[in-house]
Amino acid sequence: MSQEQEDVIRFPDEERSAQLEALEANYARVEGEVFQWNSHLTPFSTACVFELMTLMLAINALFLEYSKKCTELDECHQEYLDNLVALRDLEDRMAQTRKIYQSVGASGGCLLKDAIDFL
């Protein structure tokens, strides 16, 4: 005999009906609690997802701003290097010009013509 058949023989119909009603009531109570829990969970989950998406958008905006600032910094750095090269070139020319002016005082005017041609 199976378990169900033994239960039917052991319990009268009224007792079995009472057990079945109790099981159905317990199931309905648990189902209601789960539904209530899920109904509270859904807005919470939606709020969490919304907050995460807001944070991701903020991170993305900050990354774009950071990239823009890095590009500007690279451009300024390149301009600085170009100006530094130009300054070094001008310093070399100034040193050569000083040498020419110093030698003009010692050797005469023909070096002055060379200095003017050089510039």
DSSP string, 51-109: HHHHHHHHHHHHHHHHHHHHHHHHHHHHHHHHHHHHHHHHHHHHHHHHHHHHHHHHH-S
Angle value at C-alpha 111, between 107 and 116, nearest 5 degrees:
155
Mean pLDDT of 38-56: 77
Mean pLDDT of 51-77: 93
pLDDT tens by residue, 4-42 = 556 555 655 667 777 777 877 777 777 776 666 666 666
DSSP state of 21: H
Q: Quick one: tokens of 107? A: 């050797």
The pLDDT assigned to 62 comes to: 94
The pLDDT assigned to 115 comes to: 56
The pLDDT assigned to 67 comes to: 93
Rounded to two decimals, the pTM is 0.43
What's the domain count of the chain?
1
The secondary structure element, H or E, covering residue 13 is: helix 13-107
Q: Is the pLDDT of residue 86 over 90?
A: yes
The pLDDT assigned to 116 comes to: 58
Q: How many residues does the chain have?
A: 119
**Residue-number span of the structural domain to which 66 is assigned:** 3-118
- Regarding predicted confidence, which is higher, 72 or 21? 72
The pLDDT assigned to 71 comes to: 95
pLDDT tens by residue, 93-103 = 999 988 888 87
The pLDDT assigned to 99 comes to: 86
